[in-house]
Structure 1
């Protein structure tokens, strides 16, 4: 794997910037700074209803003719912990990003069942194992609900850009794994993906380190291709998320797993898997040193970043600048 160098000066600059179903709220948007709280039906998870918070941009109520891009975010219950509203407020004051509607989807009661990978063509979940049990047993149902029920509901009730280019999906940890899945399986719905600390370790076979390397599910999805035209990715990981290093290359597994998905993987035993690069995507492995929106897929490494909400809070403004930088504005 490529070992990335942390570039001091750019990092200092970065630090300085740092539905079918009924709804429980009325259709009319609430005040811009108070999210609209919804509870939406999802038959596959009945009697549980999925809770959604819709954050409207400043001036939404008075701009009757304007349409907005939409950011769909998994783990909606974490929005306060990752500082969504103050981060948006600051970026709006700085005129750094264009206004955006944020749709925050609260996790299911069984988070590990929905936040996984799916095979849309086969209408099935791709289940992987973990220390806590199976991951993604209901990922097909959840992903299909987001793409075919929630998105049309939001488009029908709010003034949105109703194209893939106008929709981005975001998540962290298992929520990032599912955000990647939503983009990969529904590229006609979502045009951009943000994935913080993605759980790309998920594998079909956990019997050994080699078995994990050979059966990682997200990497296998990319290897099987084809590429998704127009779909862009922004990945982020912390340099101290973990100490595990299953292939012994000196890079922690969180970073390794993302890099393997980006650049492809070749094991010492000759096993190979294609990455986004081999599918024709342009790759930026050093977003910290070269913050640009030109690459199809970028990787940002957060020095000292860990697998927690505090680190994802630090990643969020950089991602928002990448996804929603105003015209003729640099992402940083």
Structure 2
């Protein structure tokens, strides 16, 4: 574990700021060899953080780290810490790079070849960034104390990474997940076919210990491709829950939150962020 001065020696463009009582380390040039890309990564630390502590803190990774201000992460963390709703945790927010190609399902791009770098992105997270964070910050070593979350396509990516890397993460937070992601174009004859994440979970074995938090908004969208009176965002999420239950996951492993009037926007995601944090890390 190292303090900010030592991090600067290694990474140069590292700055720090205190927002709402939360210390934030801004790493501006984290290089991924797998993607040959420099990433912006923000690390949020609790008020009682001590670089020399022996305490091991739960860990939360977030895709779309550039949206943390919009979802009011620091204000939410500050309140939950103050009210002792959650213990001290470390949040790692990864700013999106080539979002449409890096987020997705690692095993298969969509029918327009979007998500074709999702495999490299997964390796960046699990083989480059996660080891760095665990080396430099006092993280709890057990995956049951590690979550990965994201919004929309970032939520799909987070779910894919958790599902395929249970040795690193045991909890997935999917806010308005882009679960429609498909490997073939829409057809009227079979409107729900080809959904990549549903097919992946259907084909795979049960992963012990995984937990899933899923959220939709009744105004996430207006599309209803199968004309059943339920918007696709909700349909796809409910169908995913069915797949998870068919694998052996119970209601205790799955939390579903449907926000009446909720929209596909950080405003809604920020409203339910406290619920997710308490679900994942609540005392």
Indicate whether the TM-score tops 0.5: yes
Alignment of 1:34-53 (within 5 A): 34-38=23-27, 39-46=29-36, 48-53=37-42
Equivalent in 251, 256, 259 of residue 299 of structure 1: 256
Say whether the 8 Å CA contact 1:203–1:212 is kept in structure 2.
no
CA RMSD of aligned residues (A): 1.8
What residue in structure 2 maps to residue 203 of structure 1? 182
Query: Structure 1 length normalisation: TM-score?
Result: 0.78
Q: CA deviation at 1:154?
A: 0.5
Give 2:109's match in structure 1, choosing from 108, 127, 144: 127
Q: Please list every run of at least 4 consecutive aligned residues from structure 1 whose deviation after the TM superposition is greater than 2 angstroms.
A: 22-27, 29-34, 209-212
**2:277 corresponds to which of 320, 323, 331:** 320
Contact 2:216 2:233 in 1 (8 A): yes
Write the distance in 1 (CA, Å) between the matches of 2:234 and 2:86: 28
**1:24 is the counterpart of 2:12:** yes
What is the CA–CA distance in structure 1 between the aligned matches of 2:189 and 2:207, rounded to whole Å?
29
> What is the alpha-carbon distance in structure 2 between the residues aligned to residue 118 and residue 300 of structure 1?
26
Partner of 1:277: 245
Tell me what 2:6 maps to: none
Return the alpha-carbon distance in structure 2 between the equivalents of residues 212 and 128 of structure 1.
15
Alignment gaps of 5+ in structure 1:
1-21, 120-125, 264-274, 284-294, 327-332
CA contact (8 A) 1:24 1:37 kept: no
- After TM superposition, the structure 1 = structure 2 runs for residues 154-169 of structure 1, keeping only pairs within 5 Å, are 154-169=133-148
SS in 2 for 1:305: strand
Within-5 A mapping of 1:204-243: 204-243=183-222
- Segments of structure 2 that go 5 or more residues without pairing to the other structure are 1-9
Q: CA deviation at 1:224?
A: 0.3
Aligned residues: 271
Match of 1:14 in 2: none
8 A Cα contact 1:205 1:212, kept in partner: no
Contact 2:30 2:40 in 1 (8 A): yes
Scaled by the length of structure 2, what TM-score is found? 0.91
What are the superposed Cα offsets for residues 154-206 of structure 1, whole Å, 9 maximum, x if unpaired? 01000010121121001010000000001111011001000000000011111
Aligned to 1:258: 237
Decide whether the 8 Å contact of 2:220 with 2:264 is kept in 1: yes
Answer yes or no: is 1:245 the counterpart of 2:224: yes
**CA shift in 2, pair 1:44/1:204, >3 Å:** same
